């Protein structure tokens, strides 16, 4: 048995059936894989994706996810979870549809249950469309919040955070899918400190013994001593002091318009920090995505299992044409493998 064959199984959801998710999953499956993978999705949808990408590989419908380990070469294993709507492969590409949302939800829930039961080492999710989720009746705006609820024990909902990473920059967000006004209202010493701790724990599991954590301010010039806002004084600095008292190497708050450049690891520049904590969604993700969405990986911190995803959406404008780039999904597979026992995160 090769190291790849012996690695933990990765459960890969197909994403929105009307978007590029099935196509990038198909393209990723025909490349050398870091670990055995099972596609959690609908067989006909995946066959449509294979045809659109002109791959020529057969789809094997699996009775059990573990059968993905016994597949012959040049074959993609798909496990259909219960609860999928009929006629998914006939839905028009590039359009929001409630049935696509229902199917995406069923696949996410099934993959999460595999991981919670120890039947998969990690969950890797292809993109979903938030409007399709809403049309299907989901109360959750995205993957992160849905997985948080699925992982909740009675009376204990895990604290989760989003980390976006590529080979040059890592960013962890204090707030995620809420309005900017609500995000600012949600900031607290406790929430910021918890985010720093989750980032520390994730990077240590990934092989960094002593992560250097930079905390970005919220306001221009990190508030300029209170002239442009006092969140740095009231909330961010006390959170940093709290975690530093526990031995965490966190510093700041730094001016948010320069800290990402200071943390960036490039050919001619070694970053000063291993991760940046950002207060809001766009504040933190713009720098990562500017470096190239095809390289970014989303990692959900705080779950009882590993979850990664590509750093882009459903790309309805090109769905069905077979031209979508699978690089970010391949990176997500690699990071998932590393985080569930396949080696450190470089």
Confidence tier at 345 by pLDDT (50, 70, 90): low
What lies within 8 Å, CB to CB, of 208 at 6+ separation is: 274, 344, 345
Rounded Cα distance, 129 and 42, in Å: 17
Is residue 44 over pLDDT 70?
yes
Same domain, 139 and 11: yes
Is residue 167 over pLDDT 90?
no
Per the structure, the count of domains in the chain is 2
- What pTM did the predictor assign? 0.85
- Mean pLDDT confidence for 207-222: 94
Neighbours of 230 (CB within 10 A): 14
Query: Can you give the pLDDT at residue 300?
Result: 92
Confidence tier at 291 by pLDDT (50, 70, 90): confident
Cite the DSSP H helix spans in the chain: 3-6, 21-29, 43-52, 98-116, 130-135, 143-150, 180-186, 189-205, 231, 237-245, 259-263, 281-290, 327-337
Is residue 344 over pLDDT 90?
no
Is residue 346 over pLDDT 50?
no
Residue 79 belongs to some domain of the structure: yes
Query: Can you give the pLDDT at residue 325?
Result: 93
Same domain, 10 and 137: yes
DSSP string, 188-256: -HHHHHHHHHHHHHHHHHTT-SS--EEEE-SSGGGGGGGTT-SHIIIIIHHHHHHHHHTT--EEEEEPT
Query: Can you give the pLDDT at residue 108?
Result: 96
By percentage, how much of the chain surpasses pLDDT 90?
A: 75
Q: In what side-by-side order are the strands of the sheet with 76-79?
A: 59-62, 76-79, 37-40, 10-13, 122-125, 306-310, 297-301, 161-165, 170-173, 275-278, 213-216, 250-254
Name the average pLDDT for the chain: 92
- Mean pLDDT confidence for 175-192: 94
**On the CB side of 105, how many CA atoms lie within 13 Å of its CA?**
25
Cβ pair 323, 330 in contact under 8 A: no
Neighbours of 221 (CB within 10 A): 16
Same domain, 194 and 218: yes
Confidence tier at 293 by pLDDT (50, 70, 90): low
Query: Can you give the pLDDT at residue 277?
Result: 98
Neighbours of 324 (CB within 10 A): 26
- Mean pLDDT confidence for 13-41: 96
- For 99-120, b/e burial (b = at least 16 CB within 10 A) is bbbbbbbbbbbbbbebbeeebb
- Residues 231-283 pLDDT 10s: 999 999 999 999 999 999 999 999 999 999 999 988 777 899 999 999 999 99
Cβ pair 280, 181 in contact under 8 A: no
Is residue 219 over pLDDT 60?
yes
Rounded Cα distance, 258 and 255, in Å: 6
- Closest to 163 measured CA to CA, from 29, 41, 335: 335
Same domain, 112 and 192: no
Beta bridge partner(s), residue 60: 77
Same domain, 208 and 87: no
Same domain, 145 and 172: no
Same domain, 60 and 97: yes
Residue-range definition of the domain harbouring residue 62? 1-158+302-346
Residue 92 belongs to some domain of the structure: yes
Confidence tier at 38 by pLDDT (50, 70, 90): very high
Residue 297 belongs to some domain of the structure: no
Does 167 or 262 have the greater pLDDT score? 262
Residue 188 belongs to some domain of the structure: yes
What lies within 8 Å, CB to CB, of 197 at 6+ separation is: 243, 246, 248
- Mean pLDDT confidence for 295-324: 92
- Mean pLDDT confidence for 322-330: 94
Query: Can you give the pLDDT at residue 84?
Result: 96
């Amino acid at each position: 048995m090769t190291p790849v064959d012996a690695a933990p199984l990765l459960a890969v959801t197909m994403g929105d059936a009307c978007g590029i998710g099935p196509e990038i999953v198909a393209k990723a499956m025909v490349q050398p894989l870091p670990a055995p993978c099972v596609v959690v999705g609908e067989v006909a949808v995946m066959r449509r994706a294979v045809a659109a990408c002109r791959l020529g590989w057969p789809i094997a419908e699996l009775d059990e996810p573990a059968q993905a380990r016994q597949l012959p070469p040049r074959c993609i294993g798909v496990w259909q979870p219960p609860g999928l709507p009929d006629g998914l492969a006939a839905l028009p590409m590039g359009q929001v549809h409630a049935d696509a949302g229902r199917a995406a939800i069923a696949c996410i829930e099934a993959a999460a249950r595999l991981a919670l039961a120890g039947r998969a080492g990690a969950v890797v999710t292809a993109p979903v469309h938030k409007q399709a989720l809403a049309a299907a009746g989901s109360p959750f705006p995205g993957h992160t919040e849905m997985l948080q609820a699925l992982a909740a024990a009675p009376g204990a909902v895990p604290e989760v955070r989003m980390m976006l990473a590529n080979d040059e920059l890592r960013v962890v967000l204090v707030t995620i899918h809420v309005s900017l006004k609500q995000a600012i209202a949600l900031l607290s010493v406790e929430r910021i400190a918890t985010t720093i701790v989750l980032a520390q724990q994730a990077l240590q599991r990934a092989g960094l013994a002593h992560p250097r954590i930079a905390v970005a301010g919220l306001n221009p010039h990190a508030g300029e001593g209170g002239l442009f806002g006092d969140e740095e004084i009231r909330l961010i600095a006390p959170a940093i002091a709290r975690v530093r008292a526990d031995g965490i190497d966190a510093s700041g708050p730094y001016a948010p318009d320069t800290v990402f450049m200071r943390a960036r690891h490039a050919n001619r520049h070694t970053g000063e920090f291993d991760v940046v904590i950002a207060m809001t969604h766009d504040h933190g993700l713009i720098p990562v995505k500017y470096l190239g969405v095809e390289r970014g990986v989303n990692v959900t911190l705080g779950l009882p299992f590993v979850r990664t995803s590509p750093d882009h959406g459903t790309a309805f404008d090109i769905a069905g044409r077979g031209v979508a780039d699978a690089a970010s999904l391949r990176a997500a597979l690699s990071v998932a493998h590393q985080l569930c026992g396949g080696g450190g995160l470089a």
